């Protein structure tokens, strides 16, 4: 396929060609209308001039007589210009004027006529020799019969008008050719610029598909619609790169977190199968296997729930709930467990707060926050641990917060802990999978809000903020 055919098949070029064709047709029609209207206007003006002079001569003949009429006709006939005059007697014989030969039908029947004529040219005109005795042309005349029976013919030479029409036609043709050339050049430049921007996006996407995920669509200073598209594409590419990087990190973390319990499972099963193992050893091995299996199941359940939430398909549709009751029930449920750990649980929950949400997911988020707070609400100075659960309405938003007075989370790690399998204690000796806060973050996003970690000074304040009803 030729280069022209390839270019023509692009929507940009075809759309540009369509606009050029529409513009050219409109310009031709407009210029044609202007030329036609100009010619009609000149013709009408000539007709009005002829009628005016005829009426003037008729008034002169009525009011002043034949001599005055003859004098007036002779005077205007002797002046240069396109005017044509013929005055004849009752039989049509020439008496005076600047044309001597008129077709018989013009003199017999009054009316408007067009005919070729010749008239004397004693001085010569531009473009002719002085010795040329006659000047020919085409006349538009009006013939009338005066009250005394004489024949009067008044007209105009239309060669000048036709010459003007020819000038209009010539200008029209030149204008049309100029418009077509200009439109083609302008359309070509426009199409080239558009195709160049599209080729840039296509080349960038080709590089990305080849594996270079760091490529981005260039953005110019024009801030046009292509730059807006480029910004959206770059934001999408950034998000895709983040997701792929997160997927890689999740895969690494899953392999790291599951390797140890699976190894323990295998070792315990191997120990239980030894011939020398006692019944007590086998029972402990089975208990260990069951415990490790439960932890693995919990990890996979958490992963599945996060995936469901991030896909926007939670278990149960969103419906109006009393979020105050949900938060209060979760705090009341964990208060005895916290007291056994020597941790005080305080609440400050605004009553009757309604929210369009998923009760199960809001409850699961509260469970994760409370368990996380109980795990770390142990001040380094030996003071009693304290967890504070609050719920309040701020304008049109509902804010749920769980705060503790533990060692806290460094500011540099507050976004990192929202990712999957991220645990700040490198030894991973504490129970958990590093999925709790990631699930809370996903639940907040599902409900149109966001989740953040703040400094409680001391400790951590975990905040869920979602739009209210």
Domain boundary assignment for the chain = 1-215, 249-310, 319-467
Residue-level pLDDT at 227: 83
For residue 380, the 8-state DSSP code is: T
pTM of the model: 0.48
Per-10-residue mean pLDDT of the chain, 469 residues long, equals 58 74 80 79 84 89 87 87 85 85 86 81 50 67 87 83 70 78 77 78 84 82 81 86 72 66 77 74 79 74 66 64 91 88 89 87 88 79 83 90 87 74 54 71 86 88 87
Task: Specify the pLDDT at position 131.
Answer: 47
Q: Residue 114: CB partners within 8 Å, gap ≥ 6?
A: 138, 139, 140, 141, 158
- Peptide bond before residue 458 is cis, with ω within 30 degrees of 0: yes
CB of 462 closer than 8 Å to CB of 439: no
With H, G, I as helix, E, B as strand and everything else as coil, classify residue 103: coil
76 vs 92, 299, 303, CA distance in Å? 20, 114, 108
Length of the chain as a residue count: 469
Q: Which two tokens stand for residue 406?
A: 């533990």
| Predicted local confidence at residue 438, as pLDDT | 82
- The rounded distance, in Å, linking the Cα atoms of 462 and 368 is 11
* CB-neighbour burial class of residue 146 (10 A; exposed 0-12, middle 13-18, buried 19+): middle
Centroid of chain to Cα 14: 20
Residue-level pLDDT at 465: 92
pLDDT at 252: 66
For domain 319-467, which CATH number applies: 3.30.565.10, 3.40.50.300, 1.10.10.10, 3.40.50.720? 3.30.565.10
CA angle 364, 367, 370 (to 5 degrees): 150
Distances (CA, A) of 289 to 247, 286, 301, 396: 29, 5, 18, 49
* Contact in structure between 338 and 374 (CB atoms under 8 Å): yes
Distance CA 450, CA 433 (A): 22
Cα 187 to chain centroid, rounded: 21
Look at residue 164 in the predicted model and tell me its pLDDT: 67
């Amino acid at each position: 396929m030729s280069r022209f055919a390839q270019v023509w098949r692009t929507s940009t070029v075809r759309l540009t060609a369509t606009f050029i064709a529409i513009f050219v047709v409109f310009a031709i029609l407009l210029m044609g209308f202007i030329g036609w209207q100009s010619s009609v206007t000149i013709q009408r003006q000539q007709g009005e001039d002829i009628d005016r002079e005829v009426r003037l001569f008729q008034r002169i003949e009525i009011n002043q007589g034949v001599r005055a009429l003859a004098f007036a006709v002779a005077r205007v006939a002797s002046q240069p210009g396109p005017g044509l005059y013929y005055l004849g007697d009752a039989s049509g014989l020439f008496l005076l004027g600047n044309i001597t030969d008129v077709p018989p039908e013009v003199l017999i029947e009054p009316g408007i006529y067009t005919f070729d004529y010749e008239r004397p040219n004693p001085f010569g005109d531009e473009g002719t020799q002085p010795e040329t005795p006659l000047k020919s042309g085409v006349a538009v005349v009006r013939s009338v019969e005066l009250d005394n029976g004489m024949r009067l013919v008044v007209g105009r030479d239309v060669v000048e008008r036709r010459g003007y029409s020819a000038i209009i036609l010539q200008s029209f043709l030149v204008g049309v050719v100029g418009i077509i050339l200009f439109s083609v050049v302008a359309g070509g430049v426009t199409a080239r610029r558009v195709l160049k921007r599209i080729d840039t996006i296509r080349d960038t996407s080709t590089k990305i598909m080849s594996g270079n995920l760091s490529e981005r669509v260039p953005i110019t200073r024009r801030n046009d619609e292509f730059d807006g598209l480029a910004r959206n594409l770059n934001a999408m590419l950034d998000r895709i790169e983040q997701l792929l990087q997160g997927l890689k990190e999740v895969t690494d973390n899953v392999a790291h977190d599951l390797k140890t319990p699976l190894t323990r499972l295998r070792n315990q099963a191997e120990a239980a199968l030894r011939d020398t193992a006692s019944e007590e050893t086998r029972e402990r091995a089975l208990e260990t296997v069951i415990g490790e299996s439960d932890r693995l199941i919990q990890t996979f359940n958490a992963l599945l729930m996060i995936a469901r939430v991030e896909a926007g398909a939670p278990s149960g549709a969103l419906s109006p709930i009393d979020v105050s009751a949900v938060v209060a029930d979760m705090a009341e449920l964990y208060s005895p467990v916290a007291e056994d750990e020597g941790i005080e649980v305080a609440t400050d929950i605004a009553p009757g707060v309604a929210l369009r949400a998923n009760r199960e997911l809001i409850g699961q988020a509260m469970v994760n926050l409370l368990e996380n707070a109980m795990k770390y609400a142990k001040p380094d100075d030996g003071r009693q641990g304290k967890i504070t659960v609050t719920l309040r309405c701020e304008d049109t938003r509902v804010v749920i917060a769980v705060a503790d007075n533990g060692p806290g989370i460094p500011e540099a790690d507050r976004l990192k802990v929202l990712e999957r399998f991220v645990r700040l204690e490198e030894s991973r000796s504490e129970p958990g999978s590093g999925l709790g806060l990631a699930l809370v973050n996903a639940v907040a996003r599902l409900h149109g809000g966001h989740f953040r970690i703040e400094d409680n000074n001391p400790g951590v304040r975990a905040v869920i903020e979602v739009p209210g009803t």
